[in-house]
Amino acid sequence: MANTSSAKKATRKIARRTIINKSRRSQMRGTVRNVEEAIAKGDRDAALQAMANCEPALMRAAQRNIIHKNTASRKVSRLTHQIAKLAK
């Protein structure tokens, strides 16, 4: 348990940030799931529309250190590649 007042405050801050980060992470995962579902259905138009929401959400999460920037770039790249394969 925290002994100093500054350590107690840090604990409170971490708890507040954890709630916010969990919310942002689940929102980001939801956008990725929407793209993956559209790809699974084979609906290219829906996948492109979902990707338009997904890419900014991933980059925003990377910017706010919820995920690593390379992870965000990798996810965008792989989803874009899968959508491109639907066109063929």
**What is the number of other CB atoms lying within 10 angstroms of the CB of residue 28?**
22
Q: What is the pLDDT of residues 71-88, one digit of tens each?
A: 999 999 999 999 999 987
**pTM, whole model, 2 decimals?**
0.84
Q: Which domain holds residue 30?
A: 25-86
Is residue 6 situated within a structural domain?
A: no
Is residue 45 situated within a structural domain?
A: yes
Q: State how far the Cα of 44 lies from the Cα of 79, in Å rounded to an integer.
A: 12
Question: Based on the structure, what is the number of domains in the chain?
Answer: 1
pLDDT confidence of residue 33: 98
Is residue 33 situated within a structural domain?
A: yes
Is residue 62 situated within a structural domain?
A: yes
pLDDT confidence of residue 87: 83
Q: What is the pLDDT of residues 6-61, one digit of tens each?
A: 999 999 999 999 999 999 999 999 999 999 999 999 999 999 999 999 999 999 99
Q: Residue 43, SS3?
A: coil
CB 68 within 8 A of CB 25: no
Is residue 16 situated within a structural domain?
A: no
Is residue 11 situated within a structural domain?
A: no
In the block, residue with structure tokens 């995920």 = 67
Q: Residue 33 sits in a domain of what CATH number?
A: 1.20.58.110
pLDDT band of residue 66 (cuts 50, 70, 90) is very high
